[in-house]
Amino acid sequence: LAAAVTEVVHGAEALSAAQRASEVLFGGDIEGLGAAEVADIFQDVPSTEIAASRFDGEGMQLADLMVEVQACKSKGEARRLLQGGGVSLNNRKWDDPNQGITRADTIEGRFLVLRKGRKNYFLVKVLG
């Protein structure tokens, strides 16, 4: 019923976008989404801007990123959460706190979507 009402009020394109956003927010695949769609879906979550150069070479460790975006208060807390399987990057589980995040992990070189637990999202805007 909600889908029918959304389609009548907002149109088929808006319905499709709303359904895709729901899929992503509930753990669906982010791959295939463009940067514009990611920006739209995650416009209301906390965001942090980080220079693209920080993701060069070995990249930035995920535990460091979690502290920087204020998902965790310390690297120790981030490590424990990662090792417990409570962290996803671009909706893929990560459990190695030392794994480097590189530009190859970004969405079109512009975004990273960090999820802590089931529903705490953080958007990283990659600049440069």
* 42-77 tens-digit pLDDT: 899 999 999 999 999 999 999 999 999 999 999 999
Give the predicted TM-score (pTM) of the model: 0.78
> Contact at 8 Å (CB) between 45 and 36?
no
User: In residues, how long is the chain?
Assistant: 128
pLDDT at residue 52 in the model: 97
For residue 84, name the pLDDT band (cuts at 50, 70, 90).
very high
Q: Which residues pair with 50 in a beta bridge?
A: 126
pLDDT at residue 15, rounded to an integer: 55
Per residue in 10-46, pLDDT (tens digit) is 677 665 666 565 566 555 667 777 888 889 888 999 9
- The answer as to CATH 1.10.760.10 being correct for domain 34-127 is no
The total of other beta-carbon atoms located within 10 Å of residue 82's CB is: 23
Residue among 76, 73, 66 at smallest CA distance from 121: 66
Q: In the numeric block, which tokens belong to residue 8?
A: 């009548």
